[in-house]
Amino acid sequence: MSAPKTLPIDIRPFAEGELSAIIEMRRAMTLELDGSDLDADGLWRERFAEFVTGLIARHDAAFFVAQHDGELVGTGGVYVLRNHRSEIYGQPSAYVTSVYVAPAHRRLGVAKRITQAAIEWARGKGCVVVRLRASKQGRMVYESLGFTPTEEMELHLDR
């Protein structure tokens, strides 16, 4: 059996000028997962950028990138959730979002390393739980880090 291929891939906090690359990877992720084209309404890029920059300005979020030979090949973010558990019970939680790795760089542990960086950031913020929504493709990555399914449910309301 051959050894798994490895590449020198650095995981680091994103730089201000890389927000557009993070947005493009988020779009690619959504297209790949369910075929939704976020460009359809023409406003999502602006809203996503405002969401990310606002959270980061308040020190309530961090985004990470994976870089190989000067090229960004992955991304992921984490932000502090504000809810009754954090505000009333003093149990802050975090939400991991937008973990995406370009197809040519998958199965190298990149998504796991990005998620680990997000977990460490949340731990540093005093969070007691980290949540995320897992795709079928990502479920094994998250389970390997100790994530477990919860009892949460959701209801999609008509618009």
pLDDT tens-digit readout, 38-49: 878 879 999 999
pLDDT of residue 2: 44
Q: Is residue 158 a part of any domain in this protein?
A: no
In a domain, 155, yes or no: no
Contacts of 106 (CB under 8 A, 6+ apart): none
The helix or strand, by DSSP H or E, that contains position 116, with its residue range, turns out to be: helix 110-124
How many residues does this entry show for the chain? 159
List the CATH number of the domain containing 31.
3.40.630.30
Q: 121 is in which domain, residue-wise?
A: 10-144
CB-based contacts of 85: which residues, under 8 Å, 6+ apart?
91, 92, 93
130 by DSSP, 3-state: which? strand
The answer to whether residue 150 is domain-embedded is no
Per-residue pLDDT at 33 exceeds 50: yes
**Residue 21 falls within a domain, yes or no?**
yes
**Residue 93, beta-bridge partner list:** 81, 129
pTM for the full model? 0.89
Q: What are the tens digits of pLDDT across the range 124-133?
A: 999 999 999 9
